[in-house]
């Protein structure tokens, strides 16, 4: 039998049929939905008189458009409120499980599903959100879809797709102190660019990923789409099984053991060939920051902005008000955001709290900490991290996507820089005219304490 | 299916879907009205006045073809981006590279993404810049894009199934629902 990749194994086991000279019908196990990209799909089915085919395979949450303050009160913004009400109505009408605002399981779709055990190795998952790639951390095929495709999955639990090509990114060696999973993925994207993965599904391999926690793996897979790859995957192993075990929607007892036996067959066969493959040394990676308006425009924090003679590059630097060749060290920063589906899990807040403990936030900085879910929020309080944040002058808010895309009131003002643990530094992403610098939770925490970007590597023992 | 039109050259690379339609406009629960806000923060200044420098606001440029730089439509999966471009009146987007999700969303909304070579794109940008009246012809059946009354022409690729869908105006839902028996049979014998 030919050598197969993790991706091949999961994909091939979900192919219902193949259209001659055309796409394949791929079966979808789990469909996650939220308030922003689902209403038009519900309408489409209703208009065409088509019922939802498998409502019990859909899980819904409200996250993109929710406030992060006073969640117990009615949502002030009328349009946002209407969108949330519509989600509740649609879910109720169609018997879909919904963790709405205030529910103990509410949270960002890509934080909520893994922590509830909805995400499992070997399954196919979709959501009308490009960061669905996050769930690939478990060895699942997970990818973002458009609203027309949300309607297709509603109608048939399937999608028509052409199998993507395969790509493997290997990182081996020992990571330096202060280098977090976020730095690893920002480094990879800075080397490969924002469209190197387009048309591909990416597998991350090597001891660096094997040694990572599930939280770290999720951070890495989350940003696969930022190099254009529809999804990223990491082979399931003991770390994965241990994480899934005992979670609300995970199989239990004997059923779990049977699944584990199957999951162990999924890793890429020795000698399987990828369409593209890259190798990086862990030792070369340092804490990263971005300086431009796409996630590929990243540098090591100790480096200077490159000099390029390209109109799009210059437009980007002009937007950021940075000069080619300059360093970002000592740049004053007034806003810090720790949150988003990239970095809002308990581990991210532990890293931040560990650095912040006994220090104070700089007076010029507004620092928002937005947990990824109600469960993460509860854990922050339980572990005493909230006390650390409160004492240092940081503001712990309620869960949601928040300032990552600024659909709610959490907007960075015009012209201001924000060191953010989110995933996109596009123009205006965090608010009209805002300027985003992507970084790890450690770099973000250090920026908030110092009121400016510092070379974090010089501040670690 | 042939379209003849002048084109608007948007000579910027990596145009992301946040630029095509900023997140603050995603609160609607239907597909209407997004065209009014396409490229909102490039089209309008902070004070709400039109930015006369932006290509869509230059009166000499018009047409139902958008010609854009490499890696068009990257970022968010929001289909609102395709709705916004269609809503503004575009029927074809030309670029040397499209992001996956955007490409699928475009096809699902009758917006044809035409992927051309870097060289062709650069020639096209120059011709339109020097003469905004340049007319392009896009022939879906033959899969060609050309500049009318010139020798500039290129073949483009499109999935055969999607081409049939575009020409006949049916979509994936129709196809999938017609295969429900196959899908149910698959569910009954899932091997994973």
Q: What pLDDT does A69 receive?
A: 97
Q: Which domain holds residue A127?
A: 6-277
Contact indicator for A201, A169 with CB cutoff of 8 Å: no
Summarised one tens digit per residue, pLDDT across range A121-138 is 999 999 999 999 999 999
Q: Kindly give the pairing relationship between strand A417-420 and strand A435-438.
A: parallel
Contact B24 A406 (CB under 8 A): yes
Residues above pLDDT 70, as percent of chain B: 100
**pLDDT tens by residue, B32-89:** 999 999 999 999 998 899 999 999 999 999 999 999 999 999 999 999 999 999 999 9
pLDDT at B190: 80
Q: Say if A149 falls within a structural domain.
A: yes
- The answer to whether residues A352 and A418 belong to one domain is yes
| Binary contact (B100, A230; C-beta < 8 A) | yes
Mean pLDDT score, A252-277: 97
Domain-located, residue A106: yes
Do residues A132 and A267 both lie within one domain? yes
A202 and A265 part of one domain: yes
**Residue A282, domain member (yes or no):** no
The confidence score (pLDDT) of residue B96 equals: 98
Is A1 inside a domain boundary?
no
The mean of the pLDDT values for chain A is 97
What does the pLDDT look like over A51-96, one tens digit per residue?
A: 999 999 999 999 999 999 999 999 999 999 999 999 999 999 999 9
Cα separation, A441 vs A352, whole angstroms: 6
pLDDT higher than 70, residue A363: yes
Is A215 inside a domain boundary?
Answer: yes
Report the alpha-carbon distance of residue B44 to residue A107 in Å, rounded: 34
Whether B1 has a pLDDT exceeding 80, the answer reads yes
Whichever domain contains A218, its CATH number is 3.30.499.10
Please, how many CA atoms are within 13 Å of residue A301, restricted to the half-sphere of its CB?
A: 28
What pLDDT is attached to residue B46? Answer: 86
Domain end position, chosen among A256, A277, A298: A277
Of A238, A253, A277, the residue that ends a domain is A277
User: Of A277, A304, A332, which marks where a domain is finished?
Assistant: A277
What backbone phi and psi angles, to 5 degrees, belong to B11?
Answer: -85, 65
Residue A283 placed within a domain: no
The answer on A360 and A302 residing in a single domain is yes
Q: Each residue of A408-423: pLDDT tens digit?
A: 999 999 999 999 999 9
Which positions of A make up the binding site for [4Fe-4S] cluster?
341, 401, 404
Query: Do both A362 and A271 map to the same domain?
Result: no
Over residues A383-395, mean pLDDT: 97
Residue B57 and residue B50 in contact, taking contact as beta carbons nearer than 8 Å: yes
pLDDT of res. B44: 97
pLDDT of residue A461: 63
Pair (A266, A324) in one structural domain: no
- A199 in a structural domain: yes
Same domain, A115 and A259: yes
Is A222 found in the same domain as A328? Answer: no
Asked if residue A247 and residue A316 are part of one domain, the reply reads no
Is A248 in the same domain as A355? no
Residues A242, A360 within the same domain: no
Give the burial string for A81-113 (b: 16+ CB within 10 Å, else e).
ebbbebbeebbeebebbbbbbeeebbbbbbbbb
Say yes or no for a CB contact (<8 Å) between A64 and B19.
Answer: no
What does the buried/exposed string (b/e) look like for A141-170 if buried means 16 or more CB atoms within 10 Å of the residue's CB? bbbbbbbbbbbbbbbbbbbbbeebebbbbb
* pLDDT at residue number A435: 98
DSSP B24-41: GGTT-SSSTTGGGGTTHH
Residue B60, exposed/middle/buried by CB under 10 A (0-12, 13-18, 19+)? exposed
Residue A390 lies in a domain: yes
Please report residues of B whose CB lies closer than 8 A to that of A64.
23, 26
> In chain B, which among 119-158 make CB contacts under 8 A with chain A?
none
Based on the fold, state whether residues A201 and A294 are members of the same structural domain.
no
Yes or no: say if A131 and A423 are a contact pair by the CB < 8 Å rule.
yes
Cα distance between residue A64 and residue A428, in whole Å: 16
Interface of B with A in 8-37 (CB under 8 A): 11-14, 16, 18-19, 22-24, 26-31
Residue B117: count of CB within 10 angstroms of its CB? 12
Question: What mean pLDDT value characterizes chain B?
Answer: 96
Residue A72, SS3? coil
Q: How many domains does chain A have?
A: 2
For the stretch A186-221, pLDDT in tens is 999 999 999 999 999 999 999 999 999 999 999 999
What pLDDT, in 10s, does the model give residues A18-42?
A: 988 889 999 999 999 999 999 999 9
Q: What distance in Å separates residue A91's CA from the closest CA in chain B? A: 15
């Amino acid at each position: 039998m030919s050598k197969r990749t993790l991706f091949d194994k999961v994909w091939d086991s979900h192919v219902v049929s193949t259209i001659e000279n055309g796409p394949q019908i791929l079966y979808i196990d789990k469909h996650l939905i939220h308030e922003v990209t689902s209403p038009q799909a519900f309408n489409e089915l209703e208009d065409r008189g088509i019922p939802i085919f498998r409502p019990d395979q859909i899980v819904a949450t409200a996250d993109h458009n929710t406030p992060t303050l006073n969640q117990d009160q009615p949502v002030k913004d009328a349009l946002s409120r209407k969108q949330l009400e519509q989600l509740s109505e649609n879910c109720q009408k169609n018997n879909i499980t919904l963790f709405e605002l205030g529910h103990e399981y509410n949270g960002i779709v890509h934080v909520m599903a893994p922590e509830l055990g909805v995400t499992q190795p070997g399954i196919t998952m979709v959501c009308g959100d490009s960061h669905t790639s996050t769930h690939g951390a478990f060895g699942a095929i997970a990818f973002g879809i458009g609203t027309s495709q949300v309607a297709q999955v509603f109608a048939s639990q399937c999608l028509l797709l052409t199998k993507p090509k395969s790509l493997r990114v290997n990182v081996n060696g020992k990571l330096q102190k202060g280098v977090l999973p976020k730095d690893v993925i920002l480094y990879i994207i800075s080397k490969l660019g924002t469209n190197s993965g387009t048309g591909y599904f990416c597998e991350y391999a090597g001891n660096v990923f094997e040694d990572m926690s599930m939280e770290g793996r999720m951070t890495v897979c989350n940003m696969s789409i930022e190099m254009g790859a529809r999804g990223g995957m990491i082979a399931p192993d003991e770390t994965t099984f241990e994480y899934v075990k005992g979670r609300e929607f995970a199989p239990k007892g004997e059923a779990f053991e049977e699944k584990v036996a199957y999951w162990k067959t999924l890793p890429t066969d020795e000698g399987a060939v990828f369409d593209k493959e890259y190798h990086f040394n862990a030792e070369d990676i340092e804490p990263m920051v971005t300086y431009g308006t796409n996630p590929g425009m990243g540098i090591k924090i100790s480096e200077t902005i490159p000099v390029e003679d390209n109109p799009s590059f210059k437009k980007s630097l002009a937007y950021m008000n940075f000069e080619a060749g300059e360093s970002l060290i000592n740049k004053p920063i007034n806003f810090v955001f720790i949150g988003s589906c990239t970095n809002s899990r308990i581990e991210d807040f532990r890293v931040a709290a560990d650095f912040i403990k006994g220090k104070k936030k700089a007076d010029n900085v507004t620092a928002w900490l937005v947990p990824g879910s109600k469960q993460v929020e509860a854990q922050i309080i339980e572990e005493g991290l909230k006390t650390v944040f409160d004492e240092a002058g940081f503001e712990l808010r309620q869960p949601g996507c928040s300032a990552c895309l600024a659909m709610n009131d959490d907007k960075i003002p015009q012209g201001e820089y924000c060191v953010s643990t989110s995933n996109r530094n596009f123009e205006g992403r965090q608010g009209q005219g805002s300027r985003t610098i992507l970084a790890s939770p450690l770099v973000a925490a250090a920026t908030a304490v110092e009121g400016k970007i510092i070379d974090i590597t010089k501040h670690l023992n | 299916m042939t379209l003849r039109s002048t084109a608007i050259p948007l000579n910027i690379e990596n145009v992301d879907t946040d630029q095509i339609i900023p997140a603050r406009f995603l609160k609607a629960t239907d597909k209407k009205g997004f065209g009014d806000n396409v490229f909102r923060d490039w089209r309008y200044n902070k004070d709400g006045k039109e930015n006369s420098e932006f290509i869509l606001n230059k009166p000499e440029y018009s047409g139902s073809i958008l010609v854009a730089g490499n890696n068009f439509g990257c970022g968010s999966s929001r289909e609102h981006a395709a709705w916004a471009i269609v809503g503004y009146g575009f029927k074809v987007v030309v670029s040397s590279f499209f992001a996956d999700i955007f490409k699928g969303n475009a096809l699902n909304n009758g917006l044809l993404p035409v992927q051309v070579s870097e060289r062709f794109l650069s020639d096209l940008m120059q011709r339109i810049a020097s003469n905004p009246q340049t007319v392009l012809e896009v022939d879906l059946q033959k899969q060609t894009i050309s500049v009318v009354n010139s020798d500039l022409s290129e073949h483009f690729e499109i999935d055969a199934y999607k081409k049939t869908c575009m020409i006949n105006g049916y979509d994936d839902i129709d196809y999938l629902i017609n295969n429900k028996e196959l899908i149910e049979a698959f569910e009954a014998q899932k091997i994973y």
